[in-house]
Structure 1
Amino acid sequence: MSQWEMVFGVHAVEALLRHHPKRVKQIVLASGRQEDRLQSLYELAVQHRIDIDYAERRELDERVDGVHQGVLAYVSPSQIWGEAMLDELLQRLEEPPLLLILDGVTDPHNLGACLRTADAAGVHAVIIPKDKSATLNATVRKVACGAAEVIPLVAVTNLARTLEQLKQAGIWLVGTAGEAEKSIYQHDLKGPLALVMGAEGKGMRRLTREHCDYLANLPMAGSVSSLNVSVATGVCLFEAVRQRKASS
């Protein structure tokens, strides 16, 4: 199975079985007492004629570096989108684009959480640089709870160039920065929008910041100076969702 990627966790495996069953080579279920949620995975695997194996939970613990919830799957390697595929996606949209750009988010838990939030907010695609960024792996998929299997993740070679192309396509770039004069609530987020979030601790890189049309802050009322990037992403995205729903 060395040529296959490992995906674990009930929600991540279920999303693969429902949306990309042809990518799944085999699922491995914990032997012994079967929970209802594992039984539903078994039925999906049978429906798609996917090989099913069983293993003791102790063996699953040894195979997986994380909480497997009694299931893992071996799947074909992840398909990460390229710049050309992003162009096609934007051309097909019949509503104003809502994009999330993560500039150098290297923690796979944060990337997974951002993907989960982006999917919940109806984001059309998440864009990351190919270098200095976490990418799809088993941990990201587990934390994303299935979102990694349905939301396009676009890895670009030159983020600054991609930002410029998005601006040329009429998409406004709003970056988050603690020193920004206006808060996220004071900006118009209803039109074609790409929200740019910086790396943990360091924030956006200089060149990324310079390409943003506007900068916005998140008002902080307590003693903590900043939020985790995935939490800040949720706050900003759902403010955009709120504004869009109010105007429709």
Structure 2
Amino acid sequence: MADKNFVEGRNPVIEAIKSGREIEKILIAKGSGKGSINKIKGMAKSKGIVVQYVNKNKIDSMSRTNSHQGVIAIVSSYEYSTIDDIFELADKRGEKPFIIILDQITDPHNLGSIIRTAECAGAHGIVIPKRRSVGLSAIVGKTSAGAVEYLPVARVSNISFAIEELKEKGLWIYGADMIGEQVYYEADLKGPIGLVIGSEGKGISRLVKEKCDFLLKIPMRGKVSSLNASVAASIMIYEVLRQRS
């Protein structure tokens, strides 16, 4: 897999979008709103690609070509899979699907750690959103200790819609939440399931929480009221493995 890459300049960015290449986000210098920049913005919107407006100084400092023309596309370090790819892996192993759904995880180290744990525990794949979430960067790959090479990661436009699709395919959706009605180890996690883990600070968003069939909590005894996202994910992922074993 290639390292994270920048595509710089208006025409190169346009061609990258046309080609269907997986783009993490597009950075546009503030004030660059004319001509082909407008075309890039329109194409990005139609493809669901995140556009971020930044000071020109930031783009200048990132540029490797010194001819960025006010726009840089950040291209994924790793190839994404599809939800169907994840189900194919479960089918190939002759196992009931076990999928981890991540809602707005923005720390690449957390994402890398979750991928590593999920792969070690035999999960079949991970689903992440395109917006307000870290993608498969070089840092994620390194933190995963190579697990990203083996575990399918699907990137979707809308997590709520993706959960609906997973439900239609027979999965029960369990969300990790501090106010869950059931302790995680009391739930039956042996069937086909999707496990939702929320963001580092806010947990699972309201709309995603409403899509969950069950909310599970991890008992807390100390004065700190929450766990790191990757730690909470690890606890629950290994409970699934324990029950399935």
d(CA) in 2 for partners of 1:204 and 1:88? Answer: 27
Structure 1 segments of 4 or more deviating over 6 A? none
Q: How far off is 1:91 after superposition?
A: 5.2
Q: How far off is 1:86 after superposition?
A: 4.0
Q: What SS does the corresponding residue of 1:5 show, helix, strand or coil?
A: coil
Q: How far off is 1:92 after superposition?
A: 4.4
Aligned match of 2:137 = 137
Matched, 1:127 2:127: yes
What amino acid is aligned across from residue 202 of structure 1 in structure 2?
K
Pairing 1:88-237 to 2, within 5 Å after superposition: 88-89=88-89, 92=92, 94-237=94-237
What amino acid is aligned across from residue 116 of structure 1 in structure 2?
R
What amino acid is aligned across from residue 233 of structure 1 in structure 2?
A
Pairing 1:75-86 to 2, within 5 Å after superposition: 77-86=77-86
Q: 1:5 aligns with which of 3, 6, 27?
A: 3
- Whether the aligned pair in 1 keeps the contact of 2:77 and 2:136 (CA below 8 Å) is no
Q: How far off is 1:206 after superposition?
A: 1.1
What amino acid is aligned across from residue 237 of structure 2 in structure 1?
L
Q: What SS does the corresponding residue of 1:113 show, helix, strand or coil?
A: helix
Q: What SS does the corresponding residue of 2:132 show, helix, strand or coil?
A: coil
d(CA) in 2 for partners of 1:119 and 1:89? Answer: 12
Q: How far off is 1:150 after superposition?
A: 1.0
Q: How far off is 1:77 after superposition?
A: 4.5
Flag the 1:6–1:210 CA change in 2: closer, same or farther, 3 A.
closer
What amino acid is aligned across from residue 223 of structure 1 in structure 2?
K
- Whether the aligned pair in 1 keeps the contact of 2:85 and 2:152 (CA below 8 Å) is no
Q: What SS does the corresponding residue of 2:196 show, helix, strand or coil?
A: strand
Q: Percent identity?
A: 44
Count, aligned residues: 174
Q: How far off is 1:84 after superposition?
A: 4.6
Q: What SS does the corresponding residue of 2:118 show, helix, strand or coil?
A: helix
d(CA) in 2 for partners of 1:102 and 1:77? Answer: 19
Q: How far off is 1:82 after superposition?
A: 3.0
d(CA) in 2 for partners of 1:93 and 1:171? Answer: 17
Deviations 1:52-97 (A, max 9, x none): xxxxxxxxxxxxxxxxxxxxxxxx9421113453454455452111
Q: What SS does the corresponding residue of 1:151 show, helix, strand or coil?
A: coil
Q: How far off is 1:202 after superposition?
A: 0.4
Relative to the length of structure 1, the TM-score reads: 0.66
Q: CA RMSD in A?
A: 1.9
User: Which ranges of structure 1 fall in alignment gaps of 5 or more residues?
Assistant: 8-75
What amino acid is aligned across from residue 171 of structure 1 in structure 2?
L
Q: What SS does the corresponding residue of 2:151 show, helix, strand or coil?
A: coil
